[in-house]
Amino acid sequence: MGDLLIEIGQNPHARRLIKQLGLPIPMPERLRRATTPWEERPLHDKDVVLAAGENPTLTAAVAQTLAAAGASPLVVGDDSLLEPFRTPGEAHGRPARKLPLGEELDRRADAIVFDASGIDSIAKLRALYDVFHPLVTKLARCGRVVVLGRPHEGLSPAHGAAQLALEGFVRSIAKEIGKTGSTAQLLCVEPGAEERLPAVLRFFLSPRSAFVSGQPIRISARVPGPKTIPWVQPLQGKIALVTGAARGIGAETARLLAAEGAHVVCLDRPDDDGPTSQLAREIGGSPLLADVSRPEAAAAIVDELTKRGGVDIVVHNAGITRDKTIARMSGEYWDLVLNVNLDAVIRMTDAILAGPMRQGGRIICLSSIAGIAGNVGQTNYAASKAGIIGFIKSLAPAVVDKGITVNAIAPGFIETRLTAAVPVAIREVARRMSNVGQGGLPKDVGEMVVFLASPGAVGITGSVIRTCGGAWIGA
């Protein structure tokens, strides 16, 4: 589905005319997205600035990540920040250059990474201002800001305040840079999880995270995981189940999982035999026709996955809306939405965990920002999607010992059949409500699924990641 404003915005004559007329029409930057499968050096020749507050503790992990991913690092500050780059810089032929604080950048930076992990007082937060005030205007279009922090729990009140202040900073700068298609995230690294930072940093510095912004993301060492992380074809040899795979987000997710090496079991309703089988053929996967709302579906799914020798990745994507205000909603609408979007997810997960789920598996559920913020006419839908968040938060600690992670993705406005059904005026407003001034594409959610399914995402569990372009609501 086309977004007319973005189409117009790509035309320089139209842009000029609208400017001359003084019209306040938003002209969002079309987001830059990945077009090829995962690669060894996703940041090849990207200019990435590293800066830090006092006593940073994560610069070694950043230096290793940037050098191995092919970036050209530029360090702002004193020589102590250059030191961690020496060995990885030599190993990968990516030496870091230095930019004294306050000096002008001679070109645009593709990303700015700020290590705020050592900031323990309000006074030391000033380093954020000192670095971003001169540099933020030098951020390239569709650039990336990533701030690194530590969990605030268990710290002294002033230290905890300083660390949680980072969330407000990131959410706000994400709104300020969003109009040029740029994003900002806070990666909050638990002590002991430092070696899990590189995989997460790679993803959030890459174009694969184009529609994720203003997010605090927790990285933990709770779930045991692999020592070495494959950067290319990370899902080779994995079996994945995607429900609701016939169209929209499910179809794109299945394609992206297959492109990274997974065999995908594409599940959809028996009425969708045509598109489901066609997709399975296209990606070398297999179709599975079942209505997840039926009580017998879980057994059929377990049968199929057991025949394949087990399952590593489960994506609960099938979902429906039946919108009406509560006063006008039929009991049938309530039951149907709660059954398909929530009860079926719990039934299927229970059956899969008791049978074919393999050690080190990944469970990824589709929630929605409606489940975080609520929405008029969606009491049933929002209840089901908020229930998903309760489900993943309760399940995640229970399966830690099996090396399984459980997460939810909360999409905002994504261009699919589901949102095409929204009245035109509301649709137009919903698109512009994100920091990046446009709706997301199914592949934006698919990229988030692939990342959470990958071995490198083992540090993320029990989390809800909004893929909403930093929508103004539900933050």
Active site residues: 381
Q: Pick between residue 145 and residue 279 the one whose CB is nearest to ligand NAP.
A: 279
Least CB distance to ligand NAP at residue 149 (A): 28
Report whether 249 contacts 241 (CB < 8 A). no
- Interface positions, 174-233, toward ligand NAP (CB under 6 A): none
CA distance 69 to 72: 9
Q: Binding residue for ligand NAP (CB under 6 A) from 349, 380, 419, 454?
A: 419
Q: At what angle do helices 331-338 and 379-398 cross, to 10 degrees?
A: 30
Q: Within a 13 Å sphere around the CA of 446, how many CA atoms are in the beta-carbon half?
A: 27
Among 28, 118, 198, 250, binds ligand NAP (CB under 6 A): 250
- The angle subtended at Cα 84 by Cα 78 and Cα 87, nearest 5°, is 130
Q: Which is nearer to ligand NAP, 69 or 364 (CB)?
A: 364
Q: Return d(Cα 43, Cα 84) in angstroms, integer.
A: 19
Residue type at 392 in one-letter notation: I
Among 107, 227, 328, 417, binds ligand NAP (CB under 6 A): 417
Binding ligand NAP (rule: CB under 6 A), the pick from 366, 383, 450, 464 is 366
C-alpha span between 411 and 427 (Å, rounded): 15
Q: Which CB atom, from 230 or from 374, has the smaller least distance to ligand NAP?
A: 374
Please list every residue from 278 through 307 that binds ligand NAP, using CB under 6 A: 291-293
Residue 44 phi/psi, 5-degree rounding, is -50, 120
Tell me which of 59, 368, 378, 461 binds ligand NAP, using CB under 6 A. 368
The separation between the first and the last C-alpha atoms of the chain, rounded to the nearest angstrom, is 26
Find the binding residues for ligand NAP in span 253-282 (CB under 6 A): 268-269, 271-272
Give all strands (DSSP E) within 152-252, no chain letters: 183-189, 215-219, 239-243
Q: Of 340, 353, 383, 406, which one interacts with ligand NAP (CB under 6 A)?
A: 340
Stretch that binds ligand NAP, among 41-49, 169-177, 217-225, 315-323 (CB under 6 A): 315-323
Which residue lies nearer to ligand NAP by CB, 42 or 442? 442
Query: How far is Cα 142 from Cα 212, in angstroms, rounded to an integer?
Result: 12
Q: Is 280 helix (H, G, I), strand (E, B) or coil?
A: helix
Is 459 among the residues that bind ligand NAP (CB under 6 A)?
A: no
Binding site for ligand NAP (CB under 6 A): 243-244, 246-250, 268-269, 271-272, 291-293, 317-320, 340, 366, 368, 411, 413-414, 416-419
